[in-house]
Structure 1
Amino acid sequence: MRKLVSSVTAALLLSGCGGGLGGAQSILDKEELVVAVKPDQPGLAERTRDGSFQGFDVDVAAYIAARLGKKVSFVATTSEGREAKLRDGVADMVVATYSISPERKEQVTFAGPYYVSNQDILVRAGYTRIRNVRDLKGRRLCEAQGSISTSRIVEGRQIAAVLVPAKSYGECVDLLRSGAVDAVSTGDLILAGFAARERGAFTVVNAPFTVERYGVALPLGDVAGCEEVNRAITAMYQDGTAATLLDKWFGASGLRLPAFVPEFEGCMP
């Protein structure tokens, strides 16, 4: 708590009321927030037939916007395009299973995380040759464009998997279904969403091996906005909304879902 109070004080001294560092516009100055979400991640964010979006990430973004007293609308993004959506002013926030990393902190300001995910592995139902991350050696592993999940395996753990590129995790799952790859590995909520959508087709190995901290990305330097988003995320867990949303979208998946407020990264660069 002391760290959070210090961050708020520093943000006010640096940015005044509302704006980000260097006088940049803050999300707090806007009446409506445009939020970039994924269009093809079942349970997290998916475009419906009428063009709207639904899922956990969408509900989290709507909750944050409501706590900030803002209207909200949504645009689609890929993993690769998340930074560009903010940089080019297409979106004000990104809530798209966006794992916080030191490299990404140089491009955006992260609030949160709003969820702490364990990286796991998805295989075809009945496929028993992969029981843990070590079994990915020599196997065909899908690599979604713009994601850092596979680098945690190949570079971080020095496991020589054969990487097969794809534009998105939706395409990765299509490749898995067809047998073109042996596994897909990323955050457990992403995998659980696909497994729940096509029950009986896929299995989550349930062998977590890294942690992915999903952040709410804001334009670089928007410290004041970041602090307010952190307050909203705290309220979301404390008032029971987070638990309700996690159960709504993933309760049937068998995942053990957390009910505690994640430890925040801090908004200062």
Structure 2
Amino acid sequence: MRKFSTIILSILAHQTVFADSESSTVTSPVNSNATFIARTAYLQNPYNSENYPTTGGGTLVVNESQVAQQNFWQKWFEDGTYNVYAGGTVNAGADSKTFNNPGPYNRDLQPYSYGANIFAQTGQAAGFSIGGAVTVMNPFFAEPMNGLATQQGTRDYNIYTPTYTQAAISEAFVEYQYSNIVQADIGYIGINNSPWINGNYENNLVSIPATYQGALINIYPGNGWLLTALAFNAAQYGAAPGFTGNTNYSITNNGIANSNGYAASNGTIAL
């Protein structure tokens, strides 16, 4: 009990030691937008948050003094990050009878998939880094698992859950970053800070939901502002065999457009 009381008194003393000091100040919390762009943020990584504990991998965090002692190749290949995300997905929505709807919304035929995604990105050298993500889904037994789905005669049967054997490059990009002010990504990229389009992570999917062929620029001018500009001319859904003209705005009365003859938009630019 005496030891416990001593701990309590020590905590109280620590909290009140500056109570009578006229020079004490209240520190304002750091605005989250001020740290959105950072050397170790890796915004293109679908699994770069502690909210995704099911991934394996890691990020090497180095301070400025360590970076100053590294040469070009050490900055690129000794720093960086990687993640491995694996598992299985089943669309179990058979409570809805939708025989007349096209493939992506026909829940009476449940698609199954399993596989893994590997993301990797180098560290920065002169502000530049490169990265990408590889997806492998259903390497074996795709047709026995999804016989009814594959009989639909199209790989677009389900736009997020692959019903066939898939090996794809979901992301491949070059990134430039200047301090915490500017970050630009170009190539096959994920876009996760737009309220209008799908990002590159969903917690109920193993496949990467959507990536885009284009560019993304984030700018932090200060005072809590974060400006984002994006432009892309094609999108790749998790179950798509490649990038198509569908840019998430191609909506028809029959559902989301894919490479099935529906209209596709010619590109997207937003600020």
TM-score, length-scaled by structure 2: 0.22
State the structure with more CA Rg: 2
> Higher strand share goes to which structure?
2
